[in-house]
Amino acid sequence: MSRPTLPTGITLLKAPARDATGDNAPVEAVVRGILADVAATGDDALRRYSRTFDGLDVATFEVDARERQAAVDALDPAARDDMMFAIERVRDFAEAQRATILPLEVEPLPGLHLGHRVIPIRRIGAYVPGGRYPLLSAPVMTIVPAVVAGCSEIVACLPPTAHPAMIAGCHLAGATRIFRVGGAQAIAAMAYGTESVPAVDKIVGPGNAYVNEAKRQVFGRVGIDQLAGPSEIYVLADATGDAAMIATDLLAQAEHDVRTRVGLITTDEALGAAVAAEVDRQLADLSTADVAGRAWADYGEIAIAADDAAMIAYSDAIAAEHLQVHTRDPHATAALLSNYGSLFIGPLASVVYSDKCCGTNHTLPTMAAGRYTGGLWVGSYLKIATHQWLSPEGVAAVAPHAIGQSAREGLEGHRRAAAARVA
């Protein structure tokens, strides 16, 4: 998505050097070929793509019980403790969310009974990215909510080059089956099924541009959670903002990828200038500056807002994936915001806490999708399916209207079906 047109009251102290929108046609064509190949030749295609993209010959795609346990045993105690802390926090929050999703039974008219059931999706496919770094929180975020939702099968796919700790994360989070398949070919395998990988009902989890495009192309055959672009962080701040802390948070997210969108919207121009200087200062000794620095140079933005209203309006237009609020009264500011993936209220609420282990999910809408959807949550793994039943009294109330409407529409079969229930 390109940057929205600047509204009244916004000027840019630093504008992005590049547009976030790229030409997706080459990716689209490559992915279409991969999907067709996997659908036609199954495991043979997966092996070819493993050799081509990963440089590995994978004899057996599924990670067996012995290998799963070995990966867990290889974790050092501190790493396992961190992972279990994250699993517990995500599970606890998902359970609290699940408790708010209730079945329904109502009788709006005598004899007319309506309701819905809350049904877990049977088989979930969780894509676990390899990426630039081994993101050990990734399997926690996609798998634990599926366990809490009650999904009977949770299939995890991760690149064969992924760090062994990622296998441990999938196992501890609750995956029922784990496969060494990555990229667009993993999405194809989960959508169509192969000799080794079962077809799933819904695919969740982030990935690179090829994974994202593959999810887009298989949508309809299977469900998907969302289409995720590069990560994003924006900070809203007034004169009370701490320039060093804001710069630290922007760079923490920028090190994810060279295409990360990072920005500050502030009502205080002096703070904007101070943050720009702090970013340059901190990049000088940041070990991931080759990534974070490029993201800042290409996609970094500092916007100066004439007042709070302009700041809120511009933030809602951007609808950032991660939105931090560093204002004098952050809760009051937060109450005015509508569009974001996840909101971090006050300077102590860092995106990093959610990214790793505090309990909210880090799989969130990007590229302004926060205008119409939230992030991955336990409800993403559930279906709300309606039902109805009628007594003769209910038929007497409903049937005349159904008969009349069917007749006016010229649908004689409908009219007969409605009339057949009338005593």
- Is 67 annotated as catalytic? no
Nearest to 315 by CA among 403, 398, 232: 232
Number of CB atoms found within 10 A of residue 53's CB: 17
Output b/e per residue, 331-343; b: 16+ Cβ within 10 A. Answer: eebbeebebbbbb
Q: Considering 278, 321, 326, 362, which one is annotated as catalytic?
A: 321
Provide the β-strand partners of residue 203: 125, 224
Do 249 and 325 meet the contact criterion of CB atoms below 8 Å apart?
no
Task: Compute φ and ψ for 267, nearest 5 degrees.
Answer: -90, 0
Q: Which residues of 385-420 are buried (b: 16+ CB within 10 A; e: fewer)?
A: eeeeebeeebbbbbbeebbeebeeeeeeeebeebee
| CA dihedral angle for residue 112, residue 118, residue 123, residue 128, rounded to 10 degrees | 140
Determine whether 114 is exposed, middle or buried from the number of CB atoms within 10 Å of its CB (0-12, 13-18, 19+). Answer: middle
Phi, psi at 13, each rounded to 5°: -80, -35
Q: Of the residues 256, 322, 326, 362, which is catalytic?
A: 322
Q: Is 362 a catalytic residue?
A: no
* Residues with active-site annotation: 321-322
